[in-house]
Amino acid sequence: MIKSLVITHGKLGNELIKVSEKILEKKIDIDCMCFDWEEDGSVIINKLEAYLNKNKKNQIIIFTDMFGGSPSNICLKHINSSTEVITGINLPGMLKYLTYKEKNLNFKELVKIIKQGTIDGINVLGEYLGEKKK
């Protein structure tokens, strides 16, 4: 089974999940951990380890908000064949995941599709419209 976890600075992850639920009009099954600046860093590291231990039998996709940020960095040592991290998650990437996770794709394929969906969601509208007019 594929599970997913969002780890972000502040409450960004919670909001991303809330907005996705609003758009899809359903409760979505994604776990979330928020990185609290006031908190000792070891708290979230321990939470992540506990989460991964609890889900040892699952494949896990972790979404983080920024490559190189603490939420991503604490995941580095946990990456293996059944745990992958996608950094820089945005709403299109999240929606891509939610609409593809039911399609029974293999883990690597799903990760690849989400990454592409996240990238494709970034556009400069003026350029985009300009290309369309060509």
Residues that bind another protein (CB under 8 A): 22-25, 91-92, 95-96, 99, 117, 120-121, 125, 128-129, 132
**Start-to-end C-alpha separation, the chain:** 45
- Kindly state the smallest distance separating residue 104's Cβ from another protein, in Å: 15
Closest CA to 4 of 35, 41, 29: 29
- Tokens 């099954």 locate to 29
- All residues at 6 or more sequence positions from 101 whose CB lies less than 8 Å from its CB, including other chains: 2, 4, 110
- Kindly state the smallest distance separating residue 121's Cβ from another protein, in Å: 7
Nearer to another protein, 50 or 129 (CB): 129
- Kindly state the smallest distance separating residue 119's Cβ from another protein, in Å: 12
Nearer to another protein, 24 or 79 (CB): 24
